[in-house]
Amino acid sequence: GDSWGIFTFLCAALCNLPALPALNCSEELGAGQSIQQTYDLTRYLEHQLRTLAGTYLNYLGPPFNEPDFNPPRLARAERVPSATVDLDLWRGLTDNARLAANYRAYSRLLCYLRVLDGQVGTAELRHRLAHFCASLQGLVLSIGGVMSSLGYPLPAGPAGPPTPPGAPAAPNDFLKKMDDFWLLKELQTWLWRSAKDFNRLKKKVPPAVVTLRLEARGF
């Protein structure tokens, strides 16, 4: 009948699609998928850091592992990129500016964490820090991928080592632990805010689609 004839025609047409040089099937991954993957990685790092921070603060001991410990930020800790920016001011930035700030901050925080990894005295904690550093490195690369897919230039990397040449080390063990405490605290805030950034951004960029593209050859 007519239905069987139409079905046969469609099958024949689909079977011959690869033989048509003018038809090209391509999968456009685009920025949408990069943003989704970066958002998922940010949420994973948030979860990973909660466990790591608890373990590390117990390693530092009291008062750093006490729930109500909330010290003022010291001048020494100002070298760590701060996420304590007014939320309205942060949201008023362009997508490019926020992505660049995230890229620079995580690149810098990663440098600090790698130094921290080399100073820890227990093998288990060193293993956890190394695993987290690898995940954070992945986040830096993922943010760079999002920027590239949106046509934004990558910002410059960290401006030098975490401790500039000639800078004094922590004068005592307590201040050294305070530096570590603020590093983890700022990292938690950055990840919390980045998750919100990428959640908003993925709503602005359409998801990946599969398209059939006709190339005009002889028409």
Per-residue pLDDT at 20: 33
The domain in which residue 194 lies consists of 28-202
Instruction: For the chain, list residues with pLDDT below 70.
Output: 1-29, 75-78, 84, 117, 157-171, 206-219
* Residue 211, domain member (yes or no): no
Per-residue pLDDT at 208: 54
- For residue 20, which amino acid is it? L
* Residue 212, domain member (yes or no): no
CATH number of the domain where residue 62 is located: 1.20.1250.10
pTM score: 0.75
* Residue 96, domain member (yes or no): yes
* Residue 217, domain member (yes or no): no
* Residue 16, domain member (yes or no): no
* Residue 10, domain member (yes or no): no
CB contact set of 31 (below 8 Å; sequence gap of 6+): 146, 149, 150, 205
* Residue 153, domain member (yes or no): yes
Give the count of domains, the chain. Answer: 1
Per-residue pLDDT at 211: 36
* Residue 22, domain member (yes or no): no
